[in-house]
Amino acid sequence: MRYKKNILVLIAMILCAVLAVAFCFFPGKVKVTFYPLIKAVGGAMVYDENEGYGSIRWNNFIIEYPKDKRDVAYMVLDSLKSDSRRVYDFFSYRPSKPVEIVIYDNADDMRDALHISRNRTVEGAYYMGKITILSPYAWPDAPKTDIEGYFRASSPVVHEITHMVVDEMTRGNVPVWLTEGIATYMEYRIMGYDWTAGIAVKEPYSIEQLTKNFDKLDEYQAYRQSFLIVKDMVDRYGDKYIVSILDFMGHGKEIGAKLLYK
């Protein structure tokens, strides 16, 4: 028995070594091949069962919410009804499986579920196939009145659905700056909302800098520049150009500055 176990361990080690070598030479191909498995395992590890939660189903969406936050669930539902189809149409995308949206009424609980720092401000997130939304009542700058209007004007739903679509189309083979730039652009296009407006781009980052060091750059400038690059591509070449780039990456190909601009 021990001999068989040792053989299995050896085989696993060899497979890991082969994958590591393959990733060095064909990172995109390896990523898109194994990403669905990684996402399924990661999603199961990150999100726990939400006891005491209610749920609302609409089209391919399942909204899970604390039972005392049913009004927030309907705010999210209204955003889905008004905007989700427009996101899907832009990318010529149709979901093949249900999309789970989990509402949290406490920011720390949401951060803990996502395994991110408690110092980080987050109102919505997409990770490993699922979307999380923080109740607007818990947002740092939430007004005392008209929460519904406030949420409608700055809802993270469009942003996070866009992340989901980009992730599905590219099978995870997409740089952070590009998915953030596209998600921010879709907010601007659909909602008329651009939270990066007014942020100065003093010394522009190169595509290489954005690709390799996005999380280490000045956050506001990195987001602003990512949005401007995506908007410029759409203005120059049209909506379908963005879709073609995502399809390209979904086949395991890598992009660079030369591929982004004709």
Residue 36 in this model has a pLDDT that exceeds 90:
no
**pTM for this one?**
0.82
Residue 208 in this model has a pLDDT that exceeds 50:
yes
Give Cβ neighbours of residue 138 (< 8 Å, ≥ 6 apart).
104, 105, 106, 107
> Cα–Cα distance between 153 and 156 in angstroms, integer?
9
Domain of 87 in residue numbering reads as 53-260
Of residues 175, 169, 101, the one with CA closest to residue 135: 101
Asked if 203 and 215 touch (Cβ cutoff 8 Å), the reply is no
Residue labelled with tokens 């064909």? 26
Of residues 148, 126, 124, 122, the one with CA closest to residue 137: 148
Interval 104-142: pLDDT, tens:
999 999 998 888 888 888 899 998 889 999 999 999 888
Tell me how far CA of residue 215 lies from CA of 8, 117, 135, 193, 220, in angstroms. 38, 14, 26, 23, 11
pLDDT of residue 2: 46
Domain-located, residue 86: yes
Whichever domain contains 100, its CATH number is: 1.10.390.10
Domain-located, residue 71: yes
Domain-located, residue 26: no
Query: For the chain, what is the mean pLDDT?
Result: 84
pLDDT of residue 30: 45
Domain-located, residue 44: no
Give Cβ neighbours of residue 51 (< 8 Å, ≥ 6 apart).
none
pLDDT of residue 206: 92
Domain-located, residue 191: yes
Domain-located, residue 17: no
Domain-located, residue 156: yes
Q: What's the total number of domains in the chain?
A: 1
Of residues 126, 8, 117, 102, the one with CA closest to residue 52: 102
Residue type, 45: M
Domain-located, residue 27: no
pLDDT of residue 257: 62
Q: Which residue has the higher pLDDT, 51 or 76?
A: 76
Interval 187-207: pLDDT, tens:
999 999 898 998 988 899 999
